């Protein structure tokens, strides 16, 4: 939907931890031991769990959920977090900094970052607090007992602060590394945290036109029929050559007729049937074949799950109006937000799909609001989503406006009493039981922490202000051009790419909901695109961005591929400068990524007063390192990093990449 601009194990022997010093070889050996010993650890009751999966041991699912709790979300009681992020306090300057997550990964990452930047001694008064926090986090999970014992042993030792703190860091580093390695074995949907997603809009894609475009020539067939039937392996190759490994065909569900808006065929998010393919794009067998061809080409396929609403004439509404926010009434329905619906000789007033806004509810007038206080509806939606992996073998779901179905949001918006558990815990783990590699990506502009705790694999990085440092959403920070905000978003994104226990981040500088990137960024586009495409986590780009095509409706719909009027990409049109920017950046980032292999990023913080942002690419496999800096602000800035051989003036949009010896 249109995005909102409103705020809205065992471990190895404890003696290892207590050795006076750690060599690098010792740490690596410890990590290897941890990874081995975690295998086979028995799961215990603790987190809310789904029914036993049919084709995968229940204990492995339980164990995976417990690991994610320890690493990222901490313990939750239904919709309420019982573990909160640790707050670090600089005793000399008086400021505080919140850990990146409530679990071990967020605590360790933030602790090491702050100590590296300001010195561990600035936080020495909190040493006792560290041990209290860690014990509270770990004690609900029985298999952490050995670590708890080792921590208690260290806590009571009479050691200087620096030595005790160093030992604590080494202990946590080894433990976290072992857990991360083990999550990699259990979490088959971990691929989603590094997915390179190409979003395409079948209704506007103009497949034949792309084949005939000089920039994207590929073999063509004369018998063009329906989109999914006609899409061939060579068409996937075009996408792969740009460096993508996942396709998201957006808007493939049947669209309702009643209340349909515009002349373009209606909004792809006014859904008449959540369980099948829009016949205008092909049959179910055509779509199955599309998925098979994508898999053969080495690409994964994700599809939309429109969680919050349906069309006014949906199959679900015809099945039972009680699945919706509605009431029976013989008189005239309220004009504000409701429409009338007749079912089994009774009249219902059904609310349009909506969301909290400005102290009230804002509605999409071509939709009907699904009721997540109804357990029968939850079961029905769960079965429908599961059918996409059992019938079509899709690899995952992009959940539209995902946070609207969270218990606390839904209850407040619609004044409903909710079931004790979150719908997403039921949904996600039921689907993963059917296909453990199935991934869930949330479109969300609030409550990212809640969605991560529910089991989402990745979350849009657009608008995120729930942290003390302010705006850390990638899109809104880079869009704003504010240097401080951009650096905060880089720091947050670096953590989310490194961690394994919570949802990863999906970064982008455009999608089907936003204005064309060249409009948003102007001459800043090359720097924003380079910083985005080199991100080691998940990256998303929509079709036709690479040629600068923009069919936005003036004073109406700013989307480059609008829903309200007919749209068809002219692959021979677009903006020559934008084409050059994408051609250069996509080729360069593809080359660098192949050279680096699997890598993390470490944020760079200007010490020269410059307004640039950057990070170091650090390969996990080849040992290579590169420094990347860019100016995404509207003004020029100096950039001096003599240690990396960089001393330059960066105009808006300029970037530098340097090898680090």
Q: List pLDDT tens digits, range 388-420.
A: 999 999 999 999 999 999 999 999 999 999 999
Q: What is the pLDDT of residues 239-255, one digit of tens each?
A: 999 999 999 999 999 99
Q: What is the pLDDT of residue 62?
A: 86
Please state the rounded mean pLDDT for residues 121-147: 95
Report which DSSP code applies to 523. G
Residue bearing tokens 């030992």: 167
Sheet holding 346-351, edge to edge: 326-328, 346-351, 338-343
What lies within 8 Å, CB to CB, of 593 at 6+ separation is 243, 534
Q: What is the pLDDT of residues 186-215, one digit of tens each?
A: 899 999 999 999 999 999 999 888 888 776
**DSSP letter for each residue of 188-255:** TTGGGGG-EEEEE-HHHH-HHHHHHSGGG-----S----HHHH--HHHHHHHHHTT--EEEE-S-S-B
Single out the residue of 355, 354, 352 nearest to residue 368, CA to CA.
352
Q: With 50 as the cut, is the pLDDT of residue 157 above it?
A: yes
pLDDT band (50, 70, 90) for residue 469: confident
Please state the rounded mean pLDDT for residues 260-284: 95
Please state the rounded mean pLDDT for residues 577-585: 98
Please state the rounded mean pLDDT for residues 519-531: 98
Identify the burial level of 387 via C-beta atoms within 10 angstroms of its C-beta, where 0-12 means exposed, 13-18 middle and 19 or more buried. middle
pLDDT band (50, 70, 90) for residue 4: very low
Q: Residue 304 corresponds to which tokens in the numbers above?
A: 């939309």
Please state the rounded mean pLDDT for residues 620-641: 95
Q: What is the pLDDT of residue 57?
A: 54
3-state secondary structure of 504: strand
Of the listed ranges 40-54, 163-177, 535-549, the one predicted with least confidence: 40-54
Q: What is the pLDDT of residue 1?
A: 67
Average pLDDT, the chain: 89
Of the listed ranges 25-29, 332-336, 561-565, 628-632, the one predicted with least confidence: 25-29
Residue bearing tokens 């475009």: 213
How far CA 621 is from CA of 36, 177, 220, 415, in Å, comes to 20, 16, 40, 52
């Amino acid at each position: 939907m249109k995005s909102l601009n409103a705020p809205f194990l065992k471990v190895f022997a404890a003696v290892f931890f207590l050795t006076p010093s750690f060599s690098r070889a010792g740490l690596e050996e410890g990590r290897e031991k941890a990874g081995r010993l975690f295998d086979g650890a028995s799961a215990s009751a603790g987190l809310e769990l789904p029914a036993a999966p049919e084709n995968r041991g229940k204990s492995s699912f339980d164990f995976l959920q417990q690991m994610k709790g320890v690493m990222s979300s901490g313990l939750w009681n239904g919709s309420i977090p019982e573990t909160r992020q640790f707050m670090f306090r600089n005793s000399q300057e008086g400021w505080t900094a919140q850990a990146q997550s409530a679990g071990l990964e967020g605590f360790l990452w933030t602790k090491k970052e702050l100590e590296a930047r300001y010195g561990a001694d600035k936080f020495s008064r909190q040493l006792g607090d560290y041990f209290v926090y860690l014990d509270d986090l770990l004690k609900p999970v029985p298999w952490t007992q050995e670590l708890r014992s080792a921590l208690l042993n260290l806590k009571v030792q009479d050691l200087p602060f620096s030595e005790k703190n160093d030992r604590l860091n080494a202990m946590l580093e080894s433990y976290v590394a072992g857990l991360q390695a083990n999550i990699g074995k259990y979490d088959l949907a971990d691929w989603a945290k590094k997915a390179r997603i190409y979003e395409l809009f079948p209704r506007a894609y103009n497949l034949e036109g792309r084949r005939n475009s000089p920039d994207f020539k590929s073999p063509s067939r004369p018998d063009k029929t329906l989109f999914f039937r006609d899409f061939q392996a060579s068409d996937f190759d075009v996408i792969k050559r740009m460096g993508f490994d996942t396709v998201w065909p957006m808007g493939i569900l049947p669209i309702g007729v009643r209340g349909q808006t515009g002349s373009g065929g209606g909004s792809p998010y006014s859904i008449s049937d959540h369980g099948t393919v829009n016949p205008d794009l092909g049959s179910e067998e055509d779509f199955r074949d599309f998925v098979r061809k994508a898999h053969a080409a080495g690409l994964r396929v994700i599809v939309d799950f429109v969680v919050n609403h349906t069309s006014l004439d949906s199959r679900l509404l015809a099945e039972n109006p009680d699945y919706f926010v509605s009431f029976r009434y013989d008189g005239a329905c309220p004009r504000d937000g409701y429409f009338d619906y007749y079912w089994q000789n009774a009249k219902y007033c059904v609310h349009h799909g909506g969301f909290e806004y400005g102290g009230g509810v804002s509605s999409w007038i071509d939709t009907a609001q699904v009721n997540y206080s109804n357990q029968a509806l939850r079961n029905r939606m769960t079965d429908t989503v599961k059918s996409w992996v059992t019938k079509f073998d899709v690899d995952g779901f992009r959940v539209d406006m995902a946070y609207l179905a969270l218990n606390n949001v839904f209850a407040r918006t619609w004044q409903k009493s909710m079931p004790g558990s979150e719908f997403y815990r039921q949904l996600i783990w039921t689907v993963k039981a059917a296909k453990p590699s199935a991934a869930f990506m949330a479109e969300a502009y609030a409550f990212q922490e809640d969605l991560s705790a529910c089991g989402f694999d990745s979350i849009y990085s657009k608008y995120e202000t729930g942290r003390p440092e302010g705006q850390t959403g990638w899109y809104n920070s880079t869009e704003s051009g504010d240097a401080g905000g951009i650096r905060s978003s880089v720091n947050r994104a670096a953590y989310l790419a490194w961690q394994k226990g919570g949802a990863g981040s999906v970064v982008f500088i455009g999608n089907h909901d936003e204005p064309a990137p060249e409009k948003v960024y102007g001459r800043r586009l090359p720097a924003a695109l380079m910083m985005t495409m080199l991100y080691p986590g998940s990256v998303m780009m929509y079709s036709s961005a690479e040629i600068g095509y923009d069919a936005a409706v003036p004073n109406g719909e700013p989307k480059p591929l609008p829903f309200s009027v007919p749209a068809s990409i002219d692959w021979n049109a677009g903006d020559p400068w934008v084409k050059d920017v994408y051609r250069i950046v996509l080729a360069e980032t593809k080359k660098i990524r192949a050279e680096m292999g699997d890598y993390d990023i470490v944020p760079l913080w200007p010490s020269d007063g410059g307004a640039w942002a950057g990070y170091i690419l650090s390969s996990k496999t080849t040992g290579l390192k590169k420094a990347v800096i860019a100016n995404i602000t509207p003004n020029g800035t100096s950039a001096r990093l003599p240690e990396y051989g960089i001393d330059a003036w960066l105009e808006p949009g300029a970037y530098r990449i340097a090898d680090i010896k």
